[in-house]
A and B are shown apart, each in its own frame.
Chain A
Amino acid sequence: MIKLIVGTEAMFFLALIMAFVYFSFSPGFRSHQLLNLDIKATGVFSILLFSSSFTFWRAEINYHQGKIKQLRFWLLFTIVLGGIFLLGQGREYISLLNNNVNLSSSIFGTSFFTLTGFHGLHVFVGLIVIAIITALAFAGDYNKPGSSVIDSVGIYWHFVDIVWLFVFTIVYVVPHL
């Protein structure tokens, strides 16, 4: 089930990415990207997000091995990393808005905010879900192995990271090539 949901979500992001790529050929688009986007800082935040995939993976492993303490630790760690990523994205947004780049300012703003905004929304939803299972883990709901919830959330979370891999490459890296 979760794989099917992730599959359709992938198609959704594919459409948004296609729109972004389509517009990136319009004149002035690339200079917007080079001028306004902070690839270094976002690169660092991206690494944090990718690490959160690793930490969640550790959480899954430890859960299957029945190590509840470690499970709780890695879940918390994941939340922290994901949270920092969102803060980083917020920082990027604020600096863009201060430069008068917004959803309605230009086609760059339109496609940038839509694509990264929907990704951010998915990260945010993921964080809420992980926060819930962390709370449940502390409440002792996962003391026994055998639930598929953590694996399902894992598939979603890894998916969100993979999407970011594509988004980051296309939005931040490609204009520098």
Chain B
Amino acid sequence: MKLILLPEPEEPIPSLSVSHNQGLLQWISSVDHKQIGIMYLWLSVIFLVAGGIEILLVRWQLAVPNNHFLNPEVFNQLFTMHGTTMIFFVAMPAIFGFNTYLVPLMIGANDMAYPRLNAFSFWMTFFGGFLLYFSFLAGGAPDAGWFNYAPLNEYNYSSSPGIDYYCSGLLLSGIGTVTASANFVVTILKYRVNSMSLKQMPLFVWMMLINSFLILAAFPSLNAALVMLLLDRQLHAHFFSAAGGGSAILWQHLFWLFGHPEVYIVILPIFGIFSEVFPVYSRKPIFGYAFIIGSGMAIALLAFGVWVHHMFATGLGNTVNNFFAASSMLIGIPTGVKIFNWLATMHGGAIRFKVSMMFAIAFLIEFTIGGLSGISAALVPIDWQLTDTYYVVAHIHYVFIGGTLFGLFSGLFYWFPKISGRMLDEKLGKWFFWLFVIGFNTCFLVQHALGAMGMARRVYSYPDLPGWGILNLISTVGGFIMAIAVGLLVYIIIKALKTGEKALRDPWDANTLEWTTSSPPELKNFDHVIPVNGARPFRDFKRPDDADWKKNGQQWKIN
């Protein structure tokens, strides 16, 4: 079997001269994509616990009507920090962690195109996050919600420095995100092993490629809005204050022009993860490789044409609303294509119920619930009733948790052996799975009803209307079950790192190049890469007689 040489970055890989035993300093100064990936992942675990504890306090307050556990000031800071943390410092770093770790491995490269820039991106995210949290010590965290509407975010209405920290924290991490994405694009396009054509790239890499373009196009809008807000707050400009001639609606346009693509930014890579997980645990190739890429692109393009669905109640007029309703509903179609493709991937397969796969299967149902409630919110009249209620809170958690978080957990159980060289405990993992799924549905299913029964979101207290008390109590219980589950997860990870069973090179009989390395990979990923003749190079290598490329043409049949 002929092995193939790989393209190296223009400069020699800096980390290769670093020796292994420099402790913490070695991590801080590292430019190795695997170490940076791991640091991203730890960062997101830390913030998951932080964001989770914040919302547990919130749920405690909401457990019963007219509760006095938290005062409104603290409450508002907590849910704002929860939303901001979960999106920018849990979902994003986790996704970037997996990508930074895996993309070079999956395309047969030894590092990212710009290793130093890669480190820079990580540290920007890191400091952005800690700057945001520093606000707790500096006179109050931001308290105007994660989308921080004007003019409530202006100095007259929020004079504590929280919002200034929000701006600077997100600007810093935003710069990191943008540079990381540029880095991914160059890495994916330029540093693939020579024999891997675009049509043979793992879907995970494809989704990240699409996603990187999405990020490059979406984040500047947020950055511009944040800069304008800082100018307003610090230098008394008038962008968003109606009193000075500015416009409160402008903030919403700029924010959602970023914000809507952002929610797809945290789901597309997840679609990539599932597109690796389903085939491996079903022992079948992905169903409709091309359709998954195509629908990913469709989602990315449509993502820029739907932002007004967050603003249906602002009175923009029927024509505008109808246009954005149409585009929002259309986006359900490429997503549906993916759901059915994954179902078809499992169909006829030999399914193995590993924890990773269980999260993937559960995802199909949970995400469909979230997607359908999204479509209902895209129907303008329904949104006129339900926007800014707990119904929307339910929607975002079904897509964020049932989608993003399930995907991250699935990816964690799938790739942990590769990353750490240890196996996660499958038995405890299944406990974690069931606890989390039950807690999750307990917490959020009832919130659909609460919204329809008239409960607005972001309220620190509520009157004892019929049914509200009991449903909120159920929801709180669910939140705490999830907390137990997350605690268990942290235990599972630490246990595996300390005493876990050693992982083989290829524990799941997988298809892609990262599994050809040792577990964990050496500091230099590859010396040679196996030949790539299709989208499943490692399987072709393991089963040369049955290789995909030998039987092209036959595969477009279904039994």
**A-to-B contact residues, CB < 8 Å:** 1, 4-5, 7-12, 14-16, 18-19, 22-23, 26, 103-104, 106-107, 109-111, 113-114, 118
Distance A1 CA – B179 CA, assembled complex (angstroms): 9
Whether B238 contacts A107 by the Cβ 8 Å rule is yes
Whether B238 contacts A12 by the Cβ 8 Å rule is no
Q: How far is the CB of A155 from chain B (nearest CB, A)?
A: 13
Q: What would 13 more interface pairs be, CB under 8 Å, given A12-B221, A107-B245?
A: A1-B113, A1-B186, A15-B257, A23-B246, A103-B231, A103-B237, A104-B238, A106-B244, A107-B246, A110-B231, A110-B244, A113-B237, A114-B239
Q: Which residues from chain A contact B221 at a C-beta distance below 8 Å?
A: 11-12, 15
Question: Contact check: which of B223, B245, B254 meets A19 at CB < 8 Å?
Answer: B254
* 18 A-B pairs with C-beta separation under 8 A: A1-B186, A8-B219, A11-B217, A12-B220, A15-B220, A15-B254, A15-B257, A18-B253, A23-B245, A103-B236, A104-B235, A104-B244, A106-B244, A107-B244, A107-B246, A110-B231, A110-B237, A110-B244
On whether A4 and B224 interact (CB within 8 A), knowing A103-B235, A107-B244, A110-B246, the answer reads: no
Q: Which residues from chain A contact B239 at a C-beta distance below 8 Å?
A: 19, 107, 110-111, 114
Question: Contact check: which of B114, B244, B247, B257 meets A1 at CB < 8 Å?
Answer: B114
Q: Which residues from chain B contact A113 at a C-beta distance below 8 Å?
A: 237
Any chain A CB within 8 A of the CB of B185?
yes
On whether A15 and B224 interact (CB within 8 A), knowing A110-B238, A114-B237, the answer reads: yes
Distance A156 CA – B238 CA, assembled complex (angstroms): 30
Q: How far is the CB of B251 from chain A (nearest CB, A)?
A: 10
1/0 contact string of B173-194 vs chain A (CB within 8 Å): 0000010011101100000000
Distance A109 CA – B244 CA, assembled complex (angstroms): 11
Minimal Cβ-Cβ distance residue in B for A10: B220
Q: Which residues from chain A contact B181 at a C-beta distance below 8 Å?
A: 4
Any chain A CB within 8 A of the CB of B225?
yes
Distance A118 CA – B231 CA, assembled complex (angstroms): 12
Q: How far is the CB of B150 from chain A (nearest CB, A)?
A: 12
**B-to-A contact residues, CB < 8 Å:** 113-114, 178, 181-183, 185-186, 216-221, 223-225, 227-228, 231-232, 235-239, 244-247, 250, 253-254, 257
Whether A104 contacts B237 by the Cβ 8 Å rule is yes
Distance A104 CA – B234 CA, assembled complex (angstroms): 10
Whether B186 contacts A4 by the Cβ 8 Å rule is yes
Distance A109 CA – B253 CA, assembled complex (angstroms): 21
Q: How far is the CB of A36 from chain B (nearest CB, A)?
A: 15
Q: Which 10 A-B pairs rank lowest in CB-CB distance, beginning with the nearest?
A: A107-B245, A15-B224, A104-B236, A12-B220, A11-B220, A110-B237, A4-B182, A8-B216, A110-B238, A103-B237
Distance A14 CA – B237 CA, assembled complex (angstroms): 19
Distance A23 CA – B249 CA, assembled complex (angstroms): 11
Distance A26 CA – B219 CA, assembled complex (angstroms): 27
Q: Which residues from chain B contact A106 at a C-beta distance below 8 Å?
A: 238, 244-245
Q: How far is the CB of B227 from chain A (nearest CB, A)?
A: 8
Distance A165 CA – B221 CA, assembled complex (angstroms): 21
On whether A114 and B223 interact (CB within 8 A), knowing A4-B186, A11-B216, the answer reads: no
Distance A102 CA – B232 CA, assembled complex (angstroms): 13
Q: Which residues from chain A contact B228 at a C-beta distance below 8 Å?
A: 19, 114
| Total residue contacts A-B, CB cutoff 8 A | 86
Distance A23 CA – B224 CA, assembled complex (angstroms): 15
Distance A103 CA – B250 CA, assembled complex (angstroms): 18
Distance A5 CA – B220 CA, assembled complex (angstroms): 11
Residue from A4, A18, A26, A104 with most neighbouring chain B CB atoms (10 Å): A4
Whether A5 contacts B182 by the Cβ 8 Å rule is yes
Whether A9 contacts B220 by the Cβ 8 Å rule is yes
Distance A19 CA – B250 CA, assembled complex (angstroms): 7
Q: Which residues from chain B contact A10 at a C-beta distance below 8 Å?
A: 220
Whether A12 contacts B237 by the Cβ 8 Å rule is no
Distance A25 CA – B530 CA, assembled complex (angstroms): 61
Q: Which residues from chain A contact B225 at a C-beta distance below 8 Å?
A: 15
Whether B216 contacts A7 by the Cβ 8 Å rule is yes
Q: Which residues from chain A contact B185 at a C-beta distance below 8 Å?
A: 4
Q: Which residues from chain B contact A16 at a C-beta distance below 8 Å?
A: 224
Distance A107 CA – B246 CA, assembled complex (angstroms): 6
Q: Which residues from chain A contact B254 at a C-beta distance below 8 Å?
A: 15, 18-19
Q: Which residues from chain B contact A9 at a C-beta distance below 8 Å?
A: 220
Q: Which residues from chain A contact B114 at a C-beta distance below 8 Å?
A: 1
Q: Which residues from chain B contact A5 at a C-beta distance below 8 Å?
A: 182
Distance A67 CA – B433 CA, assembled complex (angstroms): 67
Distance A26 CA – B246 CA, assembled complex (angstroms): 9
Q: Which residues from chain A contact B238 at a C-beta distance below 8 Å?
A: 104, 106-107, 110
Distance A113 CA – B231 CA, assembled complex (angstroms): 10
Q: Which residues from chain B contact A104 at a C-beta distance below 8 Å?
A: 235-238, 244
On whether A114 and B231 interact (CB within 8 A), knowing A19-B254, A104-B237, the answer reads: yes
Distance A12 CA – B257 CA, assembled complex (angstroms): 12
Whether B178 contacts A23 by the Cβ 8 Å rule is no
Distance A18 CA – B178 CA, assembled complex (angstroms): 21
Distance A7 CA – B214 CA, assembled complex (angstroms): 11
Minimal Cβ-Cβ distance residue in B for A27: B245
Whether A12 contacts B216 by the Cβ 8 Å rule is no
Q: Which residues from chain A contact B236 at a C-beta distance below 8 Å?
A: 103-104
Distance A49 CA – B38 CA, assembled complex (angstroms): 46
Minimal Cβ-Cβ distance residue in B for A108: B245
Residue from A1, A18, A113 with most neighbouring chain B CB atoms (10 Å): A1
Whether B247 contacts A23 by the Cβ 8 Å rule is yes
Question: Contact check: which of B113, B220, B227, B253 meets A8 at CB < 8 Å?
Answer: B220
Q: How far is the CB of B180 from chain A (nearest CB, A)?
A: 11
Q: Which residues from chain B contact A118 at a C-beta distance below 8 Å?
A: 227
Q: Which residues from chain B contact A1 at a C-beta distance below 8 Å?
A: 113-114, 182-183, 186
Minimal Cβ-Cβ distance residue in A for B251: A19
Distance A11 CA – B113 CA, assembled complex (angstroms): 24
Q: Which residues from chain A contact B219 at a C-beta distance below 8 Å?
A: 8, 11
Distance A107 CA – B236 CA, assembled complex (angstroms): 11
Whether A8 contacts B224 by the Cβ 8 Å rule is no
Q: How far is the CB of A111 from chain B (nearest CB, A)?
A: 7
Q: Which residues from chain B contact A12 at a C-beta distance below 8 Å?
A: 220-221, 223-224
Residue from B216, B218, B224, B231 with most neighbouring chain A CB atoms (10 Å): B224
Minimal Cβ-Cβ distance residue in B for A104: B236
Distance A174 CA – B414 CA, assembled complex (angstroms): 58
Q: How far is the CB of B216 from chain A (nearest CB, A)?
A: 5
